[in-house]
Amino acid sequence: MRIAELQQDVKKFSEEKGFSNTTIEERTIFLVTEVGEVAKEVLHIIYESDTEKMNKLKEKLGLELYDVVWNVIELANKLDIDLEDAFRKKREINKHRQWV
């Protein structure tokens, strides 16, 4: 699925479920909260040595990463930002950027 399709999917789902009523500020706070949950899951993973438990933690991390992406898309939708276009532009900038 392309980014533009994801944006449309998130918009439709948000409208159906009533999530589209949140403000830009609320959506930003939700995003930051979800990033914190990702960090928490990463900490659990790096200290886990049991493979079975680690696989469960990675699955949980994947779900938290979904929440982050969802909130980024929702925020972009609220601000009428075309993420596919932004991604393409930033990728071009990064092609010519020097990292030390």
Which tens digit of pLDDT belongs to each residue from 16-51? Answer: 999 989 999 999 999 999 999 999 999 999 999 999
Any idea which residue has 């696989």 for tokens? 55
3-93 has which CATH code? 1.10.287.1080
Coil, helix or strand at residue 28: helix
Which tens digit of pLDDT belongs to each residue from 80-92? Answer: 999 999 999 999 9
What pTM was estimated for this model as a whole?
0.90
Any idea what the Cα angle at residue 10 is, between residues 8 and 16, rounded to 5°? 105
DSSP 3: H
Q: What is the pLDDT of residue 99?
A: 86
Q: For 5-15, what is the mean pLDDT?
A: 96
Domain ranges of the chain: 3-93
Q: What is the pLDDT of residue 23?
A: 96
The residue type of 15 is E
The residue type of 12 is K
Which tens digit of pLDDT belongs to each residue from 51-95? Answer: 999 999 999 999 999 999 999 999 999 999 999 999 999 999 999
pLDDT beyond 90 at 1: no
